[in-house]
Amino acid sequence: MTGRDLLTPDVRAEIDRWVAKYPPFGKRSAVLAALRIVQEKNHGWLSPEALEAVAGYLGLPPVEVEEVASFYSMYERKPVGRHTISVCTNVSCLICGGESILSHIEKRLGIRPGQSTPDGRFYLKPEEECLAACAGAPMMMVDHIYHEHLTPERVDEILDGLP
Ligand code: FES
């Protein structure tokens, strides 16, 4: 998608709502939200055109936007599957079987972390740090929704329930 395609009136309005939360000189503060909004519009990833569009709209040097997009793990820099799966394998989840949950998903989908399924349905994110739901370990996040106390059967139910 070109920058013009991405910055539709609804996308601009949503970015503007975030910009309005900060002081007038603080457009830079809205860059995280703007990247998230544009990423959603661009089917889950930030192309070079998407980064340029955000930089242009916020009046920031492209390199600054690029730095932010490269730093945070919630931004994708290549096309990814429709549903994003993040499996936590940090300490609490590791102790409670997080690695077997991850290997179950890898086997089921036939992909490794950082890859998408060939049909474009799923994207398994590279291994995540603690997602702050340790009491519900082992856990995963699918399309920003937390699923806790997982078993392989529960994982199958969740994945089967997605379009
Ligand atoms: S260690 Fe998995 S959510 Fe904290």
Q: What percent of the chain has pLDDT over 70?
A: 99
The span from the CA of 41 to the CA of 43, in Å, is 6
The ligand 1 atom at the shortest distance from the C-alpha of residue 137 is: 2
pLDDT-derived band at 8 (thresholds 50, 70, 90) equals very high
Strand partners, 140: 87, 147
Contact criterion met (CB below 8 Å) for 64 and 56? no
54-68 confidence digits (pLDDT tens): 999 999 999 999 999
Stronger pLDDT, 31 or 22, i.e. the higher one? 31
Q: Set out the domains of the chain in order of their start, with CATH numbers.
A: 3-71 (1.10.10.1590), 83-160 (3.40.30.10)
pLDDT at 107: 98
Q: How far is the CA of 95 from the centre of ligand 1 (A)?
A: 10
Q: For 118-128, write each residue's pLDDT tens digit.
A: 999 999 999 77
Q: In this model, does residue 131 exceed pLDDT 80?
A: yes
Mean pLDDT, rounded, of the chain: 94
Mean pLDDT of all residues in 101-106: 98
CA of 2 to the centre of ligand 1 (A): 38
Q: Which residues line ligand 1 (CB under 6 A)?
A: 88, 90-93, 130-134, 137, 139
Return the ligand 1 atom nearest residue 92 CA: 1
pTM summary value: 0.86
Rounded to whole angstroms, the Cα distance separating 98 from 111 reads: 17
Residue 9, preceding peptide bond in cis (omega within 30° of 0): no
Å from CA of 159 to ligand 1 middle: 20
| pLDDT (tens digit per residue) in 135-159 | 999 999 999 899 999 999 999 999 9
Ligand 1 atom with the shortest distance to the CA of 90: 1
Q: Provide the pLDDT confidence category of residue 5 given band limits of 50, 70 and 90.
A: confident
**CA 23: distance to chain centroid?**
27
DSSP secondary structure code for residue 70 in this structure? H
137 CA from centroid of ligand 1 (Å): 6
